[in-house]
Structure 1
Amino acid sequence: MQDEAGPRGEGRPNEEWNAAAAEPTPSREPPIFNLPTGVLVALALICGIYLLQRFVLSGAANQLFAVELGFSPVRYIYPLSEQSLAWAWSPVTYSLLHGSFEHLAFNSLWLAAFGTPVCRRLGEVRFVLFWIVSSIAAALLHLVVNWGEPSLMIGASGVISALMGAACRFAFGERQRNFTRMTGLEPPLLSVGQALADRTVRVFIAVWFFGNIAIAVGLPLFGAGSESIAWDAHIGGFLLGFFCFSFFDPYSRRATRA
């Protein structure tokens, strides 16, 4: 390897060497979609299912599709042996359905924003596992709060909330960004206490919880229809992502050195 002063002894004249060194290096074109494969697949899946419901299935078939894949607390007050297996798969499949284009677009935006750093850190297999577990956690708190209610919950918001909670443990704060800039590596996972000690994380969590509690008590912060937002599922997902991310994170052992 040559040092910055160039080769010594016999060689090209300094002018020729300097001209060659000044020649611009061809740069790679940035990718069109700068998203990890896991996030792209998730976006394709939820968009594909929405298009299937919107343009392919008939009205009756679409309703049956939503009931069988959506999450409903009323299922669990009846004997499970006397119904379909929807009680088993719906705590996950509801996260793939969306009721409107606005609902889909909003969740897709946040999935791209928060799913990208988490998926890059976890890898595709762990990302899928995290999606499954966080959707179940979100559905579980929704079930507890709405026990026996004949409502139907759909949407990826619980999972996205878990991704937000997970990002608070490694992606926020100047210290974490500086680590990545200087080393090019994933930053160490912060402990819960270290994350809460970061002002950026505290402000984000405070604003996030304020918005969801406002929905819970009926404040019209998000316009008409905000009363139908499953705030409890959001909280269930966020708590899972924030407190349990270390169980999924391959870098969690670095937290002791942070």
Structure 2
Amino acid sequence: MTPDRPSERAGLQIDQAAPNLWRPASAVVMIPMLLFVAVYAFLAFLPEAVSVSILDRFALSPLKVTGVQAVQLSSEEILLTFLTHVFLHADVVHLLVNCFWFYIFAQPLAVRFRAARHFSLSERITGSFVFMALFLSASVFSGLCYILMNTQEAVILIGASGAISAVMGASIRLGLRRYQPGGISRGRPLSIIDPKVLLASSLYIGSNLLLLTPYGDYLLFGAPAGQVAWEAHISGFLFGLVMLSYFDRLTLPRR
């Protein structure tokens, strides 16, 4: 007698479009990661002085918006840094950590927006635009929050952590939908006040706030906790958590 498959025992359907964590669900997941790596590799091969100059020019900085540098730069140059800082990374560890978390949490969101290869071409195109709209608008929002909380600080913000945090916040509202009828590409997202969402949100926000305590360096295995832009992390996460419902409505009607 052959054992029942898990889906048959539970009486649930497993969505055929559910993401396999080790198999890319969509080009919209891979392209940003390739850009992260390509930009880092490009800067690594340049002379250090040139690399630092480019980094300083395209990084987001409060002083570019509210300080002395605001006078030296055009409005277009300042606004551009709200997007360009996402593709810059400080070192290999920073790059790999961001790529890892983006890869894990972007896949279910790509399926949710019907940007994965299992869907039609028109659905994939629409879903990819919606995914990138969420990602880039989260970059702007988290960058703005970072500036508002560090108005006159001589610091820079680089890395995709704020936007990736938004992807994480949006993805946790998909909960366990892989094993629910219709899977993550159908049905309503979990409520913001769902216990599972509240628990995951508390853990993420709490871990970032712990960086402000004397134990922050221990959480990062000795790395300076002060270098972590917790403001961008938390604001980005909340953006994705709240705004998923809005971006979800922009995708094509669900069958």
TM interval, shorter chain, is 0.7 to 0.9
Structure 2 residue 48 is matched with structure 1 residue 44: no
Q: Contact 1:75–1:148 at 8 Å: present in 2 too?
A: no
Paired with 1:148 and 1:188, the residues of 2 have a C-alpha distance of 45
Residues 141-185 of structure 1, C-alpha deviation per residue, up to 9 Å, x if partnerless?
10111002110110111011101110122x214xx3332xx3356
Specify which of 35, 59, 66 is matched with residue 25 of structure 2.
Answer: 35
What is the Cα-based RMSD across aligned positions, in Å?
Answer: 2.4
Q: C-alpha deviations, 1:15-50, integer Å up to 9, x for none?
A: xxxxxxxxxxxxxxx998433100110111000000
Question: Higher relative CO (CA 8 A, sep ≥ 6), structure 1 or 2?
Answer: 2
CA distance in 1, matches of 2:242, 2:33: 26
Find 1:113's aligned residue among 82, 85, 104. 104
Matches within 5 A, 1:65-214: 65-78=54-67, 80=70, 82-84=72-74, 85-122=76-113, 123-169=127-173, 171-173=174-176, 176-179=177-180, 182-183=181-182, 186-190=185-189, 194-198=191-195, 200-214=196-210
Structure 2 unaligned residues grouped into runs of 5+ = 1-19, 114-126
TM-score of the superposition, structure 2-length normalised?
0.77
- Please say if residues 98 and 155 of structure 1, whose CA atoms lie closer than 8 Å, have aligned partners that are also in contact: yes
- The CA distance in 2 between the partners of 1:102 and 1:140, in whole Å, is 25
* Whole-angstrom distance in 1 between the partners of 2:92 and 2:184: 37
Q: 1:245 to 1:50 in 2, by over 3 A?
A: same
CA distance in 1, matches of 2:185, 2:250: 8
Residue equivalent to 1:250: 249
In structure 1, what residue type is equivalent to 2:157? M
Equivalent-residue separation in structure 1 for 2:81 and 2:212 (angstroms): 23
Q: Tell me if the contact between 2:130 and 2:250 (Cα under 8 Å) persists in the aligned partners.
A: no
Q: Which residue of 1 aligns with 2:7?
A: none
Under a length normalisation based on structure 1, what TM-score does the superposition of the two structures give?
Answer: 0.76
C-alpha change, 1:163 and 1:154, in structure 2 (3 Å) is same
Counting matched residue pairs gives 216
Instruction: Tell me how far apart the structure 2 counterparts of residues 58 and 153 of structure 1 sit (CA, whole Å).
Output: 22
Q: 1:238 to 1:185 in 2, by over 3 A?
A: closer
Q: Give CA deviations for 1:102-154 in whole Å, capped at 9, x if unaligned.
A: 11000000000011111222221111111110001110110111002110110
Bigger CA radius of gyration: 1
